Amino acid sequence: MSEDIAYHEYDVLVIGAGGAGLRAAIEAAEGGLKTAVLGKSLLGKAHTVMAEGGVAAALGNVDPQDGWETHFYDTMRSGHFVSDYRMAEIHAKESPDRVLELEYWGAVFDRTPEGKIMQRPFGAHTFRRLAHVGDRTGKELIRTLEQKLMTLDVDVFQEITATKLFKDQDRVAGCIAYYRDDGRFAVFTAKAVVIATGGWGKAYKVTSNSWESTGDGAALAFRAGAELADMEMVQFHPTGMTWPPGARGILVTEGVRGEGGLLFNSEGERFMEKYDPARKELSSRDVVARGIYKEVKAGRGTPHGGAWLDITHKGAAFIKRKLPGMYEQLLSLADVDITKSHFEVAPTIHYTMGGLRVEAQTGATSVPGLFAAGECAAGLHGANRLGGNSLSDILVFGRRAGAGAMEYAKNAKMPKIDGAEVQAEMQRVLAPLARTEGENPYRLHEELQEIMANHVGIERNGPSLEAGLQKMQELRERTEHMQAKGSRQFNPGWHGVFDVQNMTLLSEAILRGAIARKESRGAQWRTDFPDEMEDQGRVNYVQRLTDHGIEVRPEPVPQMPEELAALFKRGVAPGLANSARKE
Amino acid sequence: MPDEITLSVYRGDKSGGQEVEFKVPMQTGMVVLDALHFIQAHDAPDLAVRWNCKAAHCGSCSAEINGSPKLLCKTRVDDYVGEVIHVRPMHSFPVIKDLVTDVSWNYEKLRQVPAFQPAIKAPFTLQQRDVDRIQEFRNCIECFLCQNICHVLRDHDAKDRYWGPRLMIRIAELEMHPLDTGDRLELLKGAAGVGMCNITKCCTVVCPQGIDITDNGIIPLKERVADVYWDPLGGLVRKLHK
């Protein structure tokens, strides 16, 4: 194939331009390495921008008893003890510094009366812990990182899609990508690659995720030999919009409940008192989402199949000040004034806890030179993520993956990419445009979402999961024969081909993980195994792609050292135990 | 409510193009972006439209709907009952394809703004009332609709003399940060061209975030420039008192 290909060489190549990717790139560039970032969208538009409620960090600005031990404790408990404790510990210890660093780079958080960074309560956080800017914290975070990045010598490639990672022997060697505007190819050779491409919530129809959440980086790395873990753990956020149809799934921030919003069923009952009498609306997301689901199933749902969320008792001024985005969103999209009326919410796919299996300190995957951070990586959140822990995750582990890649690159030679592999991949990528007939990527995406909704949703069981797997394998076969009409010029149908292929691969992994885990734990709720099976031992299900397909194996969860394990033996959060002792 | 709506969507690239009509089944609460997604899935799979979040957080889906600059995800179809909905790309930027334009100029200029230069290390002590104004500016979603409507850029294509409202707001959020020590007044007066704005407030009208761009951002910046450059004595006194 003869066409102009752009060739680039970098020390560190970051794929993904959300919070984790930008933070990784900043770290590598500040360390003096030649660094590039690739993003599927324009800079600053990545899914991070949609995060609303806040970034969790035990700053202790409003609750001085808070500290890393309590944040660690809350994270491990909400993850149902299948998180990597080392990641949870690093995360709890380092997130305050990462938040303050953002302030130093120009982020402007809401303030306490004393002039410190304000912190709000959130589900299953023992203390008020989420630093925030109204209900647009993700935007503040990504904008600040974007603005910091612009001060550094980093090459930013916007609207470019990576389709394959290359290897030189065992180690990663770089990738090939195409520009979305005109379809021309670029080959990036790099000593180290950081995957920071986010989650794959778009495998589901009702989701709070933006179009980009198609799991590209995780799928590319999986094909390149990296391992996945905890794929069955997919988070339903309890409160998505239910109406109008086009807005179904759009997020209603947990901040509404954090600021005092209450949930009621169609009979006016505050049903969370049943499911978690202590924490009620501020229970963990898996519990609240299941609570709403159970109410709807029992015939106590709202007109569009959800629950009522009511914050009117806080008054219009308070609501507009604390939740301006929610006020505006419900008013413009659903004609509901949340200062005057309750509104409907229902669970929506929000976050993929599983992903690439990484080393806690560095974000290293099982492929030498390949690192991962953020939603595409597994380990921190276990079976259920705490609200606010994803923004702190991308800061803490984005930085660590950037540093890990930098250290690797410093001691590595520039790898070689095999020209024949480049040619073969270009042919594969262009094939859908050349086909005169074939499957429609939009149609296959819909079918994929149908399978996921019907077989591996909030409630799961063995036979349905097996049937789903069967359908998914048939679908995966069909995704090899998609056709894209039109040219290489900004062609969403063509772009969709690769999104669908990536999501189908990861969706099969979700099904396989859910089949393997014969228990209910966190986000995994199996009606045929309704309890946590502690006697089987706590495990992570790890997946690897081989010539024969996906292989799943259980790996014991890393055991906490005694001093960390002791934090859980008092039956109360460390911060509360300490303050009780003082009193 | 009608069963069906008609959209007339611009199809073309830098070599030219024209509007093409599509019929779309009407759905309650539908936004224009929903209608375009229907067209992609059923009639024109290669219809180019930029979007990300579909929740008015990201500012990707800027376009012109019946002549008004708007976000496609936030514009309800039922606002146009009985009309054909004309959807065209932003006028002030070069078309790449269909509704997608080349907005890279904005990023080039953003990169040229001297960054935040804090006087002290974090954590900062800042009162909420002291950051309300800059939080308003930082609520910008970089949709560039203000850049698109600004007549200096739109009608006169004076991108070499004025960086436009988005960049003014970016500079304002830095200049008005209580702890910033940078000085961007020379830039404002010179290359960024704050003097080119003649306060028609079109940018403020189209801002989907409701930022009071002209009154709260650009006019105060103009005053700062005027104080220093057109009132040198007063400027000197203020400088000495700083």
Q: What is the DSSP string of B161-184?
A: T---HHHHHHHHHHHT-TTB----
- The CATH code of domain B4-101 reads 3.10.20.30
The answer to whether residue B188 neighbours chain A at the CB level (below 8 Å) is: no
Q: Total domain count for chain A?
A: 2
Residues A341 and A243 occupy one common structural domain: yes
- pLDDT digit string, tens, across residues A247-294: 999 999 999 999 999 999 999 999 999 999 999 999 999 999 999 999
How many whole angstroms separate alpha carbon A275 and alpha carbon A298? Answer: 14
Inside any domain, residue A251: yes
Question: Among A254, A523, A524, which residue's Cα sits nearest to residue A263?
Answer: A254
Identify the pLDDT of residue A582.
Answer: 46
- pLDDT digit string, tens, across residues B146-184: 999 999 999 999 999 999 999 999 999 999 999 999 999
Q: Answer whether A380's CB lies under 8 Å from A88's CB.
A: yes
Domain containing A309 equals: 237-348
At A458, which CATH number?
Answer: 1.20.58.100
A442 CA: distance to closest CA in chain B (Å)? 6
Among B76, B97, B131, whose Cβ lies nearest the Cβ of A489? B97
Given an 8 Å threshold on Cβ–Cβ distance, is A490 in contact with B53?
no
Inside any domain, residue A191: no
Among B107, B115, B138, whose Cβ lies nearest the Cβ of A143? B138
Given an 8 Å threshold on Cβ–Cβ distance, is A210 in contact with B50?
no
Q: Which residues contact A62 (CB under 8 A, 6 or more apart)?
A: A112, A118, A119, A127, A128
What residues of chain B lie within 8 A of the CB of A49, using their CB? Answer: 52-53, 57-58, 141
Q: Answer whether A47's CB lies under 8 Å from A213's CB.
A: yes
Among B29, B97, B116, whose Cβ lies nearest the Cβ of A333? B29
The answer to whether residue B16 neighbours chain A at the CB level (below 8 Å) is: no
Mutate to test the interface with A, among B13, B34, B116, B141 (most CBs of A within 10 A): B116
Two tokens at A102? Answer: 């953002």
Among B30, B97, B126, whose Cβ lies nearest the Cβ of A111? B126
Inside any domain, residue A301: yes
Confidence of residue A443 (pLDDT cuts 50, 70, 90): very high
A193 CA: distance to closest CA in chain B (Å)? 25
Q: How many beta-carbon contacts under 8 Å exist across A and B? A: 167
Question: Would you please indicate which residues of A are annotated as catalytic (active-site) residues?
Answer: 237, 257
Domain boundary among A348, A375, A394: A348
**Phi and psi torsions of A135, nearest 5°:** -120, 40
**Angle, CA A294 vertex, CA A291 and CA A297 arms, to 5°:** 150
Given an 8 Å threshold on Cβ–Cβ distance, is A245 in contact with B27?
yes
Mean pLDDT (whole number) for B121-131? 97
Identify the pLDDT of residue B178.
Answer: 96
Identify the pLDDT of residue A308.
Answer: 97
- The CATH code of domain B104-241 reads 1.10.1060.10
- pLDDT digit string, tens, across residues A518-534: 999 999 999 999 999 98
Q: Residue B116: is it exposed, middle or buried by C-beta count within 10 angstroms (0-12/13-18/19+)?
A: buried
The answer to whether residue B103 neighbours chain A at the CB level (below 8 Å) is: yes
Judged against a pLDDT cut of 70, whether residue B193 lies above it is answered with yes
Identify the pLDDT of residue A249.
Answer: 94
- pLDDT digit string, tens, across residues A85-105: 999 999 999 999 999 999 999
The answer to whether residue B179 neighbours chain A at the CB level (below 8 Å) is: no
Confidence of residue A1 (pLDDT cuts 50, 70, 90): low
Name the residue ranges covered by the structural domains of chain B.
4-101, 104-241
What residues of chain A lie within 8 A of the CB of B122, using their CB? Answer: 100-101, 103-104
Identify the pLDDT of residue B68.
Answer: 97
What residues of chain A lie within 8 A of the CB of B176, using their CB? Answer: none
At A263, which CATH number?
Answer: 3.90.700.10
Alpha-carbon B206 to chain mean position: 8
State the maximum Cα–Cα separation within chain B, in Å, rounded to a whole number.
Answer: 69
Across chain A, mean pLDDT equals 96
Inside any domain, residue A196: no
Alpha-helical segments (H) within B112-241: 128-137, 145-149, 151-154, 165-175, 185-189, 202-206, 219-225, 232-241
Judged against a pLDDT cut of 50, whether residue A369 lies above it is answered with yes
Given an 8 Å threshold on Cβ–Cβ distance, is B177 in contact with A108?
yes
Q: Which residues contact A81 (CB under 8 A, 6 or more apart)?
A: A382, A538, A557
Inside any domain, residue A471: yes
Mean pLDDT (whole number) for A415-420? 98
- pLDDT digit string, tens, across residues A30-67: 999 999 999 999 999 999 999 999 999 999 999 999 99
Dihedral sign from CA coordinates of A474, A479, A480, A481 = positive
Confidence of residue A583 (pLDDT cuts 50, 70, 90): very low
Count of other CB atoms within 10 angstroms of residue B43: 13
- pLDDT digit string, tens, across residues B62-113: 999 999 999 999 999 999 999 999 999 999 999 999 999 999 999 999 999 9
Count of other CB atoms within 10 angstroms of residue B13: 18
Identify the pLDDT of residue B13.
Answer: 96
What residues of chain B lie within 8 A of the CB of A325, using their CB? Answer: 57
Given an 8 Å threshold on Cβ–Cβ distance, is A244 in contact with B50?
no
Identify the pLDDT of residue B78.
Answer: 93
Given an 8 Å threshold on Cβ–Cβ distance, is B128 in contact with A111?
yes
